[in-house]
Amino acid sequence: MDSGPRQYRRVLDYLNEMIQLCRSRHRLDLVIEYQEAWEEAALAIYGKLPARLERQTYQPSPQQTKPVKTASRVEMFSKPLRKIIGRMGEYELLECGHQIWQPQEFLFEGVNHKRRRCGECAKAKQQAKKPPSAATEKLGRKEGTA
Ligand SMILES: [Zn+2]
């Protein structure tokens, strides 16, 4: 906006500086005084602001605020988080006994991950959900019933 001569705007700058100064000196009485002066000056220079739009208080519906359930997100969250208990070269050993290949170039410097999502556990869980006949193939270890 380039309405109002430059010197008028310098008045606003000056008043602004005074507001900052008074605030830093804890002179709230003067802060209020200068703020009122600033309002007056701004009104004189720029005029009244246009009225608020009616749709200002637009509220998104709950549907819109929910994160979108994309296929990749669903897949990611189906993998349970497992603690990393060891590293061997580019492999990470998880507490569940599975290993995850984690190439060095994918690691960010300074970020030390403590957990990973285990795709193998997700697969096992998926199979456990299937009819009992399919689940009894090679789950020799004790992994709970879930
Ligand atoms: Zn696992």
pLDDT digits 0-9 by tens, 110-120: 677 889 999 99
- CA of residue 24 to ligand 1 center, whole Å: 58
56-87, pLDDT tens digit by residue?
666 777 777 777 778 888 888 889 999 999 98
**Hey, what are 146's tokens?**
């879930």
- CA of residue 141 to ligand 1 center, whole Å: 12
- CA of residue 77 to ligand 1 center, whole Å: 14
- CA of residue 15 to ligand 1 center, whole Å: 64
Sheet (strand 115-117) strand order? 99-101, 91-94, 81-88, 115-117
- CA of residue 127 to ligand 1 center, whole Å: 13
Q: Is 142 exposed, middle or buried (0-12, 13-18, 19+ CB in 10 A)?
A: exposed
- CA of residue 70 to ligand 1 center, whole Å: 23
**Hey, what are 82's tokens?**
């497992």
Distance (Å, whole) CA 107 – CA 84: 14
pLDDT of residue 136: 53
Identity at 145, one-letter amino acid code: T
- Conformation bin of residue 137: beta by default, left when phi > 0, alpha when psi is -120 to 50: alpha
Q: Which residue has the higher pLDDT, 18 or 49?
A: 18
- CA of residue 118 to ligand 1 center, whole Å: 5
